[in-house]
Copies of this chain bind each other. A is one copy, B any other.
Amino acid sequence: MPAERKGGVTISQVAEAAGVARSSVSRAYTKPHMLSPETVDHIKAVAKRLGYVPNHTARALSTGRNGNIALIVPDVANPFFPPLIRAAQAEAERSDLCVFLGNSEEDAEKEDKLLGRLSSQVEGVVLASPRLSDERILAHASRKPMVLINRNVEGIPRVLIDSGTGVAEATRHLAELGHKRIVYVSGPSASWSNKQRRAAARKTATALGLELSVISASVPSFEAGLQAVPSILSRKATAAIAFDDVMAQGILAGLAARGVSVPADFSVVGCDDALGALMVPVLTTVSGQSAEAGKVSVSLLMQLLQSDALGDACYMLETHLIARSTTSAAP
C-alpha cells in the first residue's frame, strides 16, 4: 500500500525518465563524485521536474542508518530541560539528525518503556537525568550507543554538571551572611544531581559549623516546594537551598503566603538558573549549564556513532553561585 498521499516518485521513475540506471540516480544524491558532473546535473534536473524526494525509510533499510537520535528527559515542563532540548536539537541538526523527544514523567518504569520503544528507531540515545537503575541503563546501553546526562555510570559516556561546587559556594555564601541553621530541600532521590547537591551542602555546612537539615520531596515541582514550607519553618531555619529553581519558586510562594518576607526574614537559594531572572525578587541560584550539557551530549553521541568505542568519556561542567536578591544577612 504505497499510497504516500501524493507524488510517490521513486528512484526508478527518475531513472527511466532520465534514461539512466537506478543506481546512477541513487549515486547522484549520495556519491555525486562517482558520476560525471553532467550526468548529475541531468539527473537532478529530471528528479526536480518529477518532484522526486528520496525516501528516508528505504535508505535507512539498506544503509542501516536512519539519521535519528532519541533524547529522553524526565519532564519537558521543568524549565531546566527546554534549553537542553533546544541545544541538543541544534547540535543534532548540524549533523543532519532528527531527534525524538521522550518524556519519562520522572518515572523509572516509563523511562524503561520509552527506551524500548524508541531505541528501535534511532541510532543512539541521550538519556538526561535518568531515574533508572544502573543495571537497566547498562542493559540498554549495550544495545544502543548511549550518552548520559547527570548520571555517573562508569563505562557509559556521560556529561555531568558539577553542581557540587556551586552548592558549596552557596552554603558558604549563607554562612558569610550569618545564617546558622539552614535547610536543604531535596529533589528526586534517584537523581544523581540531587545526591551530589545534598552531599555538597552537608559537607560544607559541617565544615563551617552550620546546622543543616534535609527535607525530602520526590518530584521537583512548584507544588513540592510549596508544601515543604511548613516543615522548613518548623525547623527554625533562616535559609533554604532548594534542589532546583522550580522548588525554590514554590518555597518563595509558600513563604509569601505565610507573610515571611524574602530576603529580609528568610533567604532562599535555587539551583540550575532556570528561572532565576524570570521572577521578582530575582533568585539567588547556582548556574545551570543545561544548554551546554545538551550540546555536548549530542556531540559526544555523534563521536560514539562514528568511532564506536569512545571509552569511558566523562565530561564535567562547572557551576558557580549567582548571588541575586533572595539572600541577605540572617535576621
Contact = CB atoms under 8 A, between A and B. Distances in A.
Interface of A: 1-7, 53-58, 60-61, 63-64, 66, 68, 75-77, 79, 82-83, 85-86, 89, 98-101, 103, 105, 117-118, 120-121, 142-145, 222, 249-250, 252-253, 256-257, 277-281
* Tally of this chain's copies: 2
Contacts of A60: 57
A60 B4 CA distance: 12
Contacts of A63: 1
A133 B76 CA distance: 28
Nearest to A105: B86
Given A57-B57, A120-B55, A103 B77 contact: no
Given A64-B2, A66-B57, A83-B77, A117 B98 contact: yes
Given A58-B61, A253-B279, 12 more contacts: A2-B64, A6-B143, A53-B120, A56-B120, A77-B83, A82-B82, A85-B103, A98-B118, A99-B101, A250-B278, A256-B280, A257-B280
Contacts of A4: 64
A27 B41 CA distance: 44
